[in-house]
């Protein structure tokens, strides 16, 4: 069995996705198909000995939709400015149309030349002219509605399409009667109703689109973890290439500050790598010859060459993205129920509307009233809230989780989360910030804390070591400017040395004290800090120890409050259950 994810065009409501899903699952060779309305794609598992991509795409076409090819995370749509401008334009047109047709009902002054009583022909022509752009704007709705009706899978667009066409048709008849002298037919014009129905449907889709885009952007941000370009070594020369050009076995070069392009194995050099996006560990790990590197990791301070092993879809980050996309295609039990109900809902609404229309005529009501009731039932009975709200809530939740580093394997997990009674927290990156920060400062000098950290931070800002980032972050957060550093030297494995003004400054571990023959009388303080998980930095000014600084991954600001809140919630639910 093989899995494929196709981008689908033409789905506008849950009845669309439900109809396509049912159709695909009926086809020989397809073991399972799950259609995602929000992500506009379909996850299909099929027997590759019976089917191929082209045959599956043909099934999609037969069902009344269009396959746009393989779903690509990189091509996730972004909000389009022209779409927003178009929506604003039609919002203004809608207000003008409502003012002309209904302004007099709420006491607004009428435009004499467009008065429905004194100038009925002008009034009728104005409504028609303003309605035509809305018919063009909503042509996709009308087209999809009748297309799905032909394919025996009516959806929300079918309801709207029948209602709009019915309103327009009767309004054109009324317009004909007005131009033949029957001016009372101005009361039977429904041009504005058809236009505003289309406008409100577009409004709903615009709002839904904003929510969908946030989820899609979250997935796209996962893809952006890897760089767009990399440097490979060919016959001893460096060449910059795109990720698609890297082949298995290529030697890739990574310099300080670069992101690892593909999964591989180091063949030359050593460095510290930030792998926190995968492991959650804040402290960069030391990697040397023979050890693995993961695409997306950040190279802090060394030059390395590594052999490409996993590229493209095989890489670790691509596998994570695939899991996230597949998770959005799994359906929670509540979503399956909503899909099933909405599948029967649309035909039932059409039947009720037709029966009501006929009943009104039999009971002696005017044709215009019967038609108005018919259109109202079709338009108001929109199944979107039932079939779209549930999957949209689930997919948006999964997108937010992905953005915050939480991978959801199946959608039903979110639904089952309400039953959780025990939570186990991973410390690093969850209860803590997931990156190194200055956690403890022991000042042995007469310097103010700000002055002390300005000296240490200025020197560390010249270093490429991971610990240096903790000091530069401290300066930034406390709005402390850096000082000019001269004669800077990075002594690998020991620390850094430099001159600030006339003072020689040394920062490093205890080994650097021995190297410069500086007496250490603060070993007890060092032991306490080390036992608490800190990395130790001695600050030495002119051969005298002036401070001992601990760098660690510190607890998040609201961690204690959140844990206490969860405990209170647990106790409340426990006692409610006991009652």
DSSP 426: -
Residue 252, exposed/middle/buried by CB under 10 A (0-12, 13-18, 19+)?
Answer: buried
CA–CA distance, 523 with 317 (Å, rounded to integer): 43
CA–CA distance, 163 with 149 (Å, rounded to integer): 14
Q: At 500, is the secondary structure helix, strand, or coil?
A: strand
Give DSSP secondary structure letters for 273-289: EE-HHHH--SSPEEE-T
Under 8 Å between Cβ of 406 and 519: no
CA–CA distance, 267 with 232 (Å, rounded to integer): 13
Lay out the sheet containing 66-70: strands in order across.
30-36, 41-46, 2-9, 66-70
Is residue 490 among the annotated active site residues? no
DSSP 481: P
Tell me the backbone φ, ψ of residue 241, rounded to 5 degrees: -135, 165
Q: Which residue matches tokens 């042509």?
A: 139
CA–CA distance, 58 with 39 (Å, rounded to integer): 20
Burial 223-236 (b: 16+ CB within 10 A, else e): bebbbeebbbeeee
Under 8 Å between Cβ of 6 and 68: yes
User: How many residues can be counted in the chain?
Assistant: 579
Give DSSP secondary structure letters for 289-326: TT-EE-TTPEE-S--EEEEEEE-GGGSHHHHHHHHHHH
Q: At 280, is the secondary structure helix, strand, or coil?
A: coil
What lies within 8 Å, CB to CB, of 70 at 6+ separation is 4, 5, 6, 7, 53
Helical pair 14-25 and 139-150, crossing angle rounded to 10 deg? 30
Cα dihedral 233/237/240/246 (nearest 10): -30
List beta partners, residue 31.
none
Q: Which residue matches tokens 């006339």?
A: 502
Helix (H) or strand (E) holding 259: none
DSSP 109: P
Tokens of 460: 């560390």
Under 8 Å between Cβ of 338 and 391: yes
Tokens of 129: 């002219």
Of 274, 426, 473, 525, the active-site residue reads: 426
Q: Which residue matches tokens 């009667």?
A: 177
Under 8 Å between Cβ of 306 and 266: yes
What lies within 8 Å, CB to CB, of 463 at 6+ separation is 490, 496
Q: At 547, is the secondary structure helix, strand, or coil?
A: strand
Under 8 Å between Cβ of 392 and 212: yes
Active site amino acids: 426
């Amino acid at each position: 069995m093989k899995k494929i994810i196709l981008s689908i065009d033409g789905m506008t409501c849950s009845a669309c996705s439900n109809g396509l899903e049912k159709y695909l699952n009926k086809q020989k060779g397809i073991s399972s198909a799950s259609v995602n309305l929000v992500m506009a794609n379909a996850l299909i598992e099929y027997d590759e000995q019976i089917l191929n991509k082209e045959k599956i795409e043909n099934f999609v076409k037969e069902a009344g939709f269009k396959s746009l090819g393989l779903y690509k995370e990189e091509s996730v749509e972004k909000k389009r400015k022209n779409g927003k401008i178009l929506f604003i334009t039609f919002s203004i047109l809608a207000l003008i149309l409502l003012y002309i047709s209904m302004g007099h009902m709420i006491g607004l002054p009428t435009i004499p030349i467009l008065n429905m009583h004194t100038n009925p022909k002008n009034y009728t022509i104005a409504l028609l002219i303003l309605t035509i752009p809305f018919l063009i704007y909503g042509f996709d709705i009308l087209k999809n509605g009748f297309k799905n009706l032909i394919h025996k899978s009516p959806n929300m667009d079918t309801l709207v399409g029948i209602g709009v066409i019915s309103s327009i048709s009767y309004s054109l008849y009324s317009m004909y009667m007005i131009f033949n002298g029957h001016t009372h037919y101005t009361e039977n014009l429904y041009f504005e109703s058809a236009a505003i129905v289309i406008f409100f449907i577009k409004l709903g889709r615009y709002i839904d689109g904003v929510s969908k885009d946030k989820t899609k952007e979250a997935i796209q941000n996962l893809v952006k973890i890897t760089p767009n370009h990399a440097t490979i070594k060919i016959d001893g020369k460096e060449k910059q290439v795109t990720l698609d050009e890297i082949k298995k076995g290529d030697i890739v070069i990574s310099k300080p500050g670069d992101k690892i392009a593909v999964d591989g194995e180091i063949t030359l050099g050593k460095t510290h790598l930030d792998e926190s996006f995968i492991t959650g560990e804040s402290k960069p790990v030391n990697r040397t010859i023979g050890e693995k590197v993961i695409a997306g990791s950040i190279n802090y301070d060394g030059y390395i060459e590594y052999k490409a092993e996993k590229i493209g879809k095989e890489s670790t980050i691509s596998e994570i993205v695939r899991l996230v996309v597949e998770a959005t295609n799994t359906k929670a039990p509540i979503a399956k129920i909503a899909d099933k109900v909405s599948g029967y809902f649309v035909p039932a609404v059409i039947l009720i509307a037709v029966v009501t229309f006929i009943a009104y005529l039999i009971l002696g009501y005017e044709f215009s009233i019967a038609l108005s009731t018919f259109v109202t039932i079709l338009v108001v009975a929109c199944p979107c809230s039932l079939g779209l709200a549930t999957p949209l809530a689930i997919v948006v939740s999964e997108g937010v989780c992905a953005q915050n580093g939480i991978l959801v394997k199946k959608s039903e997990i979110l639904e089952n989360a309400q039953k959780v009674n025990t939570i186990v927290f991973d410390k690093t990156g969850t209860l803590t910030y997931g990156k190194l920060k200055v956690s403890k400062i022991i000042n042995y000098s007469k310097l103010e804390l700000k002055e002390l950290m300005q000296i240490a931070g200025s020197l560390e800002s010249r270093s490429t070591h991971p610990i240096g980032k903790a000091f530069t972050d401290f300066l930034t957060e406390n709005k402390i400017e850096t000082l000019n550093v001269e004669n800077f030297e990075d002594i690998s494995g020991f620390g850094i040395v430099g001159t600030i003004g006339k003072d020689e400054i040394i920062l490093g571990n205890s080994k650097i004290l021995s190297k410069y023959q500086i007496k250490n009388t603060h070993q007890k303080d060092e032991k306490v800090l080390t036992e608490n998980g800190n990395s130790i930095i001695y600050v030495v000014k002119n051969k005298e120890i002036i401070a001992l600084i601990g760098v660690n991954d510190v607890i998040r600001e609201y961690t204690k409050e959140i844990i206490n809140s969860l405990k209170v919630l647990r106790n409340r639910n426990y006692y409610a259950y006991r009652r």
